[in-house]
Amino acid sequence: MTPVRKVEGRAYPWGAKNVDTDVIIPAHWLKTISRAGLGKGAFETVRAQPGNMFDDPRYAGAPILIAGDNFGCGSSREHAAWALMDMGVQAIIAPSYSDIFSGNAVKNGIVPVVLPQDAIDRLVEVAKTDEVTVDLETMTVTTPFQDRFEFSIDPFRRQCLMEGLDEVGLTLARDTAISKYESAVSSERPWLSREMDYAGLAVESAGRT
């Protein structure tokens, strides 16, 4: 996962409330287990409407999405976060999120910023003409007009985002401690290692029959 410290650029000034995961990525796109290409299906029903902002050249490749309350509600599909990442979104600013979506976003390197509705309203207006900056180091959202909105985020999630650590990365970061523990267990309880060896041989033998 790529580390995220600052996201800046144009933002989609959407502001829509109760956007569920089926709107973010419709169910017929869930047949794939690959993350690549899902951006083409992101907000498919919205893009079917003439003049929608997701196909507006002014916001092409925008790394920030501004939304309303309860963003990412509905199903727990991780494809929603994959689709947003594939279309280039690195940060979302909204008053609230579905808990599952928020977790999926962080695990995929998307910053879920929580700000009050009045800040959202202001950012929607600014984003129509100018860029927005999300800074994880200072935990602020700023604009060229001296707007400065502070936000909070769980320290562990912030660390994961800034260091680019997903579950695999977190496990690998503890490789030394894990290896040390396994060595100690093998030394103190050698019978466990033998039982594991026997189990492995049994599985191998079963596979040959």
36-56 residues labelled b (16+ CB within 10 A) or e (exposed): eebbebbbbebeeeeeebbee
pLDDT, residue 72, reads: 97
pTM: 0.82
Range scoring the smallest mean pLDDT among 32-36, 49-53, 81-85: 32-36
As assigned by CATH, the class of the 6-165 domain is alpha beta
pLDDT in tens, 148-198: 999 999 999 999 999 998 766 666 666 777 777 777 777 777 766 665 555
Report how far residue 115's alpha carbon sits from residue 68's, in angstroms, rounded to the nearest whole number: 10
Closest CA to 79 of 16, 29, 113: 29
pLDDT digits (tens, 9 = 90+) for 83-113: 999 999 999 999 999 999 999 999 999 999 9
